[in-house]
Structure 1
């Protein structure tokens, strides 16, 4: 150790700190990724009129304490059971309330709180088993419990769409172990990286892989089944043409964006799952050296 290193503060993170950092970083990286069809990114607000990049950043940062608290609750409980599910639900509602306070009532990350909250808790339960499929399976087991304290409220847009079109939503996606992430996005991310296309293009390809299969309730609510078909077929076309790094792929991506803007449809469900993808991708590399006592 040289003199300069000796003078530097030795940071020590708890597991819950680290998981909350990963979750917030995943949300910010998802928001910044550009160009995303119909979604907020560095270029603008996409198909939204009430969202912008600064608001997405502020919302993500405001959720850090909630993600940390969910991870801590899982560590303290030590197993997947009804009590942990109730506690994660309570903390998630607290996080949603803070999100709405920061955004002045705009729903920026409700779906991401659900996905990343479950995954943060699942990772904290077994920090020596952080492969994506392992974490997703623990999250699925937790999601299968009902949240006994959840308030009875009017149907969300997602719930209305699921009933109308007979599709599964964010709850069922989690209960199935996040197949859009584990089976679609993460393999595509690995393939694109292996092809040397660059990290931003690889992440865009991962988003498109989610969009090829997901019954995105955000798109269904705004544009119906015709909008969902447009999203899925457009995403498949980009990947079939070589992905976002290819000339043909970029042209088709621009066409997909024009369609999403014309339909005023934003694939917000796919964006939430991309954040989950980035979280699990970083998680699988294991714990950092500066992690303190668990």
Structure 2
């Protein structure tokens, strides 16, 4: 698809490209604390970078179909919400076939799926549009709760559903502002993206971390991420030392901030869309 010139691609093609690019950029970003990156598999025994790439690429048809559904239906409402739910479930099955049953991007399907559809409808109000879609109930959604939803209920945390319904505040109020701030400080693009991830981690009640390590893991993640930023961020020697310490602490707890990683991908998607506009 990269061989095609930009003007030859439909809007749905371009949005699907941006969604997959965001997932691959998030996976490649290094060094992320306890997450799969170019160094290794982090706190995951069943994941590696090649699998993350393959998973992301397997979702391209799903993102395109979601964008096409939004364009065809043309408005926020139950028909679009239920179409997105159906397409998302089919995309998840295609992902699981590719990964041989490993859950690589289930959370990202929810977040980036909503944002891709929202971008096809109202690209200048993407988070607000995604929130309106997330507030609608899909009558055909499975009744069983995901691990993340179960953990959110157990700990009284804001899960992925609530994050979307609120318009992705971890992205719009934490990740994106930090990304722009670090760029303005000439931190370099990779360091700016790491700082955006850490900013998300400082306040997010990451259900992946809660599932693996409870409150201890969550406090370690949030406080450690803030320590990196307080030391000057990923572009400074002090920040790198704090980042290494956070990585080691989370690995010792077997706690991987997968929810924050999904939201970083959402952050990179919105950033890329803003640049295109």
Among 95, 115, 121, the alignment partner of 1:119 is: 115
1:135 aligns to what?
A: 126
Structure holding more helix per residue: 2
SS of the residue aligned with 2:275? coil
Q: Cα distance, 1:184 vs. partner? A: 0.3
Deviation at 1:168, TM superposition (A): 1.1
Q: 1:149 aligns with which of 123, 136, 140?
A: 140
- The match for 1:205 is 195
**TM-score w.r.t. structure 2 length?**
0.97
Query: Residues 66 and 238 (structure 1 numbering): CA distance in 2 closer, same or farther, change over 3 Å?
Result: same
* 1:1-294 matches, cutoff 5 A: 11-126=7-122, 129-130=123-124, 134-153=125-144, 155-287=145-277
SS of the residue corresponding to residue 157 of structure 2 reads: coil
User: Displaced runs of 4+ in structure 1, greater than 6 A?
Assistant: none
Which residues of structure 1 form unaligned runs of 5+? 1-7, 288-294
Q: Whole-Å Cα distance in 2 between the matches of residues 191 and 265 of structure 1?
A: 28
Question: Unaligned stretches of 5+ in structure 2?
Answer: none
Distance 1:61 1:107 in 2: 14
Please state how far the C-alpha of 1:152 moved relative to its aligned partner.
Answer: 2.4
Q: Which has the larger radius of gyration?
A: 1
Q: How many residues in Structure 1 have an aligned counterpart in Structure 2?
A: 274
- Determine helix, strand or coil for the equivalent of 2:229: helix
> Structure 1 length normalisation: TM-score?
0.91
- TM-align CA RMSD: 1.2
**Alpha-carbon distance, 1:198 to partner:** 0.4
Which deviates the most, 144-153 or 21-30? 144-153
Residue 66 of structure 1: how far off its partner (Å): 0.1
